Structures are given as C-alpha cells and as structure tokens.
Amino acid sequence: MEYCLREIEGKQAHDPIFIEKMKSSSRCLYVPGPVIVGAGPSGLATAACLKEKGVPSVILERSNCIASLWQLKTYDRLRLHLPKQFCELPLMGFPGDFPTYPSKQQFVDYLEAYARKFDIRPRFNETVSQAEYDRALGFWRVRSVWAKGKAMEYVCRWLVVATGENAEAMTPEVEGMGRFGGEVRHTSSYKSGEEFRGKRVLVVGCGNSGMEVCLDLCNHNANPTLVVRDTVHVLPQEMLGISTFGLSMWLLKWLPLRLVDRFLLIVSQLMLGNTARFGLVRPKLGPLELKNLSGKTPVLDAGTLAKIKSGDIKVRPSIKSLKRHAVEFVNGKTENFDAIILATGYKSNVPSWLKEKEMFSEKDGYPRRSFPNGWKGECGLYAVGFTKRGLLGTSMDATKIAHDIQRCWEDEAKHRLPFTPLLHQSSTL
C-alpha cells in the first residue's frame, strides 16, 4: 500500500489526466501534509503555524464556517473573559483599537482576518465519522461524510485533533424533564434575554456562562434564579486596576502557587465580601490550585454578584426533580418557572470518531497525559486545544505541533517524490 501511495504521488506530479480524474470522481485522496479535524481557533492556529514553516495541511470542519462554537452557539453579550493579549493566536495579534476584553463579534472578526492572512480555507460541511491508523499502510485513514451524504476518505501521515473541549453540549439527566412543560434549552441555543422578558427563568450551572446568562436576563427584565450545584470561586475580573488573570501570571513568576492563591482570596474577600453568605461557597483548594488539578475555572465576575446581593438574581441549591412548570430543589422547596436554561458546559466528542485508545481517554475524550505533555501521541497523532487553559494553551500546543511536524516533514522530504498538490484547502473539490 505504501508503494501505491508513492505511485499516486508520481501520477499526481506527472499525469494531468489522472489529476482531473481524481478531482472529479475520487472518494479517496492522499494528503501530503497533516489532516486537521476542526476549524475553530485550535485548528486555525495549527494550520497557520504549519504554513509558516512550509507545511501544507487540510482542515475538515463539520459546520459551514470557522469557529462555529463562537459564531453559532454563543450568546450575544459574550466577551472574552481574559485580556486580549492572553487570547491571541500565534503569529498575529489583535488590532490595536480592540478593547481589553473583545466582544464576541470582534473575536470572530479577528479569527476571519487570521484565516485570510494565512490563506486557510477549510473544507466545510464535512463531518469526520472515523479516523484510524492503518499499521500495514503506515498512514492515517480519515473518513468523512458531506452534508449531502457523500463520503470521502483521506490518507495522511499526520492527524491533528482540533475538535477541542467544547465539541458537544452536556445535558444532565434530571428527574421529570419530560413533564416540565416549559422551555428547556442549553446555553448553546441561548442568544439574548430579550425573548425571556418578564419570565421566571432557572439557570442551571454557576460557571462563567451561567453567571453571565443570569446577568443578561436581569438586564432584559426577566426574573432569573441560579442553581449552584457545587462550590465555586468567584473572583473580581480586575484587581488593583489589573486583570486578575494577568496579575496572577505575574505573581506566579515570583511566588509559589499557594501563596498567590492566598493573595487572590484575601483581595477577593475585601472586594466582594463573603460569597458564601449568598450561596456561593468557595472550594477548600485555592482557585489556581483547583484549576491545575481539575481544570475547573474560577468565575471572573462581570457584575452578576452585585445582582445576587441585591436580590435581583436568586440562588438555589441542586434540583431534585421537575414538575409541571415547577422545580423541586434538594432542600425540599418547590418554585414555579417558565423556562430552564442549562449552563452545564460541553464535552469532547473524540471517542465517537477516533479509533485510538492510547493517547485519548475513552471516558472523557481528553489526552491521558496532562498539560504540558498531552499534545503528542504515537504514529503522527496530535492534540490541540485540550489543555483546559484556554486560547493560551491552544497557542502553545499549535506551536509545538508545527515544529514537530516540520522536523518530520523535512526528514521525509529527502525521500519524497516531486509533488503537485491535488488537495488544496478549499470548501469544494
């Protein structure tokens, strides 16, 4: 089979009739560089870093646009929670006139400009159904299905998994979901509080998204209630005139993590008060230590806490069961609601399509090796965007992956036949 692929390379380089035939009718294509699955920030960053090193790639994207999570599944008021300098992708910063915390649309504009600058053209509407390493062949076989049902197979030396931590919405099982009668939706389908004006809305989940959705509902004159199912660290978005995240990164250069955690909690107590009084009990571990051990991100308050203190947003414990337009909580109390919004996060979908058990856990779809060692597997397999460290982690992964593949690419170039690309990064064949 490897000999056959070498023969294909030769035909692609020297036989124009063969090239035209492959363009029009082939269901199996050989890719000289890596195939990247996912055209979010992780896939774009990896493709750009590869291109800068002279390595071509093909991106397969199941949606019809880049960064589909940002464009299609986020609420209107969303802004980056961290300052822009911690969220830029490799090789291109944000425009100087962007605010410290860019809006959703500004971030999408930045990503589209990024794709244009590096001439990244994903193959849209192609869902990867299976990817498997063929040991006899020594290549990855990546099968995809187009929106119209047409199947395609790509054969490649390297495979980059860039579907990330937020591929599929997580919906918890709650007793009585079928009899609630009101609207139940995940935050991936929530756009604005305008459609809930005057309604009693229960928001399940107290992460950054749940907190912001509650604030947005308040601003549109809805009546939100927040379900806090677990302990949570709430920190001010800024401390001493500096972003809390930026201040933390600077302090970690000089002080041990636990001492920085202690500082953050003292300042938070002075600025926000005792959050436990309002139903937001802090974990025993500090915010940075907890983030490192579990990946659980502290909430950076954008104004929600003030609404909780004023009573505009009510806080309730976990749900026991749902009734007809009502919710019974674990404390025995029952309240009426018109709608429920599930701010319960996302999960990886890698186990559903990647037939590989060494690098990725079948349980949660994350690399088994923890940061910073989870980016590289065996046989040319890579992962980007699974660090639980946001866009900063994505940039680190993309840079490492491009450097590693470039080294292999240059070694193999000594034995590679001249090649005329059959595959161009495009949404159409």
Tens-of-pLDDT digits for all 429 residues of the chain? 333 444 444 444 444 443 444 443 348 999 999 999 999 999 999 999 999 999 999 999 999 999 999 999 999 999 999 999 999 999 999 999 999 999 999 999 999 999 999 999 999 999 999 999 999 989 999 999 987 778 999 999 999 999 999 999 999 889 988 899 999 999 999 999 999 999 999 999 999 999 999 999 999 999 999 999 999 999 999 998 899 999 999 999 999 999 999 999 999 999 999 999 999 999 999 999 999 888 889 999 999 999 999 999 999 999 999 999 999 999 999 999 999 999 999 999 999 999 998 999 999 999 999 888 999 999 999 999 999 899 999 999 999 999 999 998 888 776 655 544 444 333 333
Task: Give the pLDDT of residue 415.
Answer: 62
CA distance 88 to 85: 6
Cβ contact 188:166 at 8 Å: no
State the pairing for strand pair 200-204/238-239.
unpaired
Report CA-CA distances (Å) from 335 to 110, 177, 217: 44, 15, 18
Dihedral Cα 305, 250, 387, 230, nearest 10 deg: -30
**Domains of the chain from N-terminus onward:** 2-167+348-413 (3.50.50.60), 170-342 (3.50.50.60)
Task: Give the pLDDT of residue 368.
Answer: 94
What residue has token string 């690098």? 359
Task: Give the pLDDT of residue 293.
Answer: 87
Q: State the maximum Cα–Cα separation within the chain, in Å, rounded to a whole number.
A: 76
Cβ contact 58:17 at 8 Å: no
Task: Give the pLDDT of residue 240.
Answer: 86
Task: Give the pLDDT of residue 414.
Answer: 65
Strands (E), 263-360: 299-301, 314-316, 319-323, 326-329, 334-336, 339-342, 346-347, 354-355
